[in-house]
Amino acid sequence: MKALIVDDSVDFTSTLADIINSFGVETICSNSPKDAIALLENEYSNVGLILLDIEFGFGETMNGLDLLNIFRQQYPAIPVVMISGKGTIETAVKATKLGAINFVEKNIITKEKIRGIIDSTIIQASAYGDTSEIQNFLHSNGIIGKSKAITAVGESIIRYGRTDLNVLITGDTGTGKKLVANAIHSISRRIRAKIVTVDIPNVPKELFQSELFGHIKGSFAGATETKNGLFHQADRGTLFLDEIGDLPTDLQSHLLIPIEEKLIRKVGAMENEAVDIRFVSATNRNLLQMMKERKFSEQLYHRLRECEIELPSLAERCEDIPDIVNYFTTRHNTEFGDAKMFSPSTIDFLTDQKWNGNIRELYSFIKVILQTSNKRSIEVADVTKILSKHNHSDNSIAQLETVKLGRSLKEDLAEVDKIKIEKALSQMNGNVSKSAALLGVSRETLHNKIRRYEINTQQYRKTK
C-alpha cells in the first residue's frame, strides 16, 4: 500500500517521501492539485493514505481544502492527513469537518510524528493482509467475527467514520445496526460529544417535532416550559435515526433543512438555531423500492445516504458463529459468576442452524440456554431438549421451528421465559419483588411478563 504526498514544494515532498520509505511504505509524490487528481484516478486502489498540503503556489485554482473535498466525495475509503506551514484553528476545524483524520503543522513534523501517523492508519494494516487491528476495533464495539464479510464492514466503519459524511446502515433485523452506528461515532472526530438515538417507530407522530426540535413554553397545550430537543442533545455529536424507513411520509420533509443546512427551529420559535450534527441512519427496509412507491422521500434518501454500509446476515458469515457463541458465553459467565461452556459439538450444531433473526435471535437462544441449564458443559441434547419441550421432534432446531403445532423459535423462547418465571415464583413463595431480584430484572418488567404470560401468582403462595 502506498502513501500519496501532495505538496507544492518539491524539496518537502522528497524529504517526506524518504522518511516514509524508511518505514517500508512506498510513496507517490505530486506537486499540484491537477496532477494529484490524475494520479489518484489511476492509483486509488493502491493508495492507503494521503498527506495533503493546505496552500499551493500562485496560479493554482484549487487549494488543499478544495482537493480534500473532492477526495472525500470520490475516495471516502482513503484517510487524509492535512499538512500546512500556516496552520490556524479555523483551518484545522474546516479540514476535520471535511473529513481529514488529522491536521499537522510543518514546523512540528518529526520522524516520530510521521511514524505515528503511518501506524495509526489502520487501512494500511489490512492492505497487507493483517486484519487483527480491524477485528480488535470491532470487538471493542461488541461486533464479533473474523470473516471477510464482517472485516469488510469494519473497514467501511473506519473509513466512513473518519469523515463527516452521513452514513446509511442497511441490513436485516438483528444484524447489529445499532452497534455499527456506535462504532462509527467512536472513531469519528465527534467522540467527545454524544451519540443520540432517535427510535423512529416509538416517537409519537404528534410529538415528533417537539421531541426532535424542542419547543417554546406555551407553544401548544401541555408545553409548560421551554424544552430542548434531540437535535440540541446531539449538537457537535452524532444523531442516530434508527429504523428511518418507518418515518411517516408527511414528517420526512422536516429533516431536510436540519440535514442540509444544519439549522433547526423549536416549535413556537421565530428564529433558527445552528447545530453541528452528523447523521447516521439505519433501516431493514428497501428504501429504493419505497421511493418507487412514493413512501420515502428521494431528497431525504440522498441526504442521508452519502455513504452506505450494508450488513451481512448471519447466514452470510456463519463461520463467525463459534466466536459469537463464545463471546456471549464469556459475558454470561462474567455477569453471573458461572463457568459454563458449549461443547465443540454443540457449537458445530448451532453453526449449522438457520438463524432468521440473525445475531439477535442467536443471542436470545444462548441467553435462555445459559440461564436455564444446570450443567457446566452444554451438549447438543441440552439444546434440543429445551426447544422440544412441547414439540417432540428430532434433534434439529431448524425442524423444531416448523413442527406440527406451528411453533416458532420466538414462541419456544417465550415458553422458556415463562417456565423460568414460574420456577422463581415457586422458589420465592409467590413474592414478585424477590422473584425479580432472583431473575435479575426490575419489578415492573416482571409484572409486565406475568401479565403477558397470564401467570397466576396466587397459586405459588404457600399457606402455613
- Judged by DSSP in three states, 208 sits in helix
CB 107 within 8 A of CB 138: no
Instruction: Give me the residue label for grid cell 482537493.
Output: 67
Q: Which residue has the cell 440461564?
A: 371
Neighbouring CB atoms inside 10 A of 290's CB total 17
Give this prediction's pTM.
0.63
Which pLDDT does position 89 carry in this prediction?
62
How many residues does the structure list for the chain?
A: 464
Closest Cα partner for 405 from 421, 388, 425?
388
Give the residue among 78, 59, 58 at the shortest CA–CA distance from 68. 78
d(CA 452, CA 137): 40
Assess contact for 384 and 365: CB atoms under 8 A: no
Provide the H-helix boundaries in 311-353.
Answer: 321-336, 344-351
Cite the DSSP H helix spans in 337-442: 344-351, 358-372, 380-387, 397-400, 409-427, 432-439
pLDDT value, residue 221: 84
The neighbouring-strand residues paired with 170 are 283, 310
Per the CB < 8 A criterion, the answer to whether 55 and 6 are in contact is: no
What is the rounded distance in angstroms from the CA atom of residue 38 to the CA atom of residue 2? Answer: 16
Helix axes 111-120, 10-21, angle to 10 degrees: 70
Query: At CA 292, angle to CA 286 and CA 295, rounded to 5?
Result: 70
Q: Cell numbers at residue 452, please?
A: 403477558
Instruction: Give the containing element (helix H, strand E) for 258.
Output: helix 256-261
Burial (CB < 10 A; 0-12, 13-18, 19+), residue 64, is buried
Q: Which three cell numbers stand for residue 277?
A: 450534527
User: Residue 463 half-sphere exposure, CB side, CA atoms within 13 Å?
Assistant: 2
Backbone angles phi, psi at 266, to 5 degrees: -65, 150
Task: Give the N- to C-terminal CA distance of the chain in Å, as an integer.
Answer: 78
**CA separation for the pair 138, 366 (Å, rounded):** 21
d(CA 250, CA 213): 16
pLDDT in tens, the chain (464 residues): 789 999 988 999 999 999 999 888 899 999 989 899 999 888 887 888 899 988 887 677 888 888 988 887 788 778 888 888 765 667 777 777 777 777 777 876 788 778 777 766 644 444 445 577 788 889 999 999 999 999 989 988 988 887 888 999 999 999 999 999 999 999 888 998 999 999 999 999 999 999 999 999 988 888 889 999 999 999 999 999 999 999 999 999 999 999 999 999 999 999 999 999 999 999 999 999 999 999 999 999 989 998 889 999 999 999 999 999 999 999 999 999 999 999 999 999 899 888 888 999 899 889 989 998 889 999 988 888 765 542 333 333 444 333 334 555 566 677 778 888 888 888 888 888 888 877 877 777 888 888 888 898 888 876 54
What the chain holds in terms of domains, given with CATH numbers, is: 2-127 (3.40.50.2300), 156-310 (3.40.50.300), 315-458 (1.10.8.60)
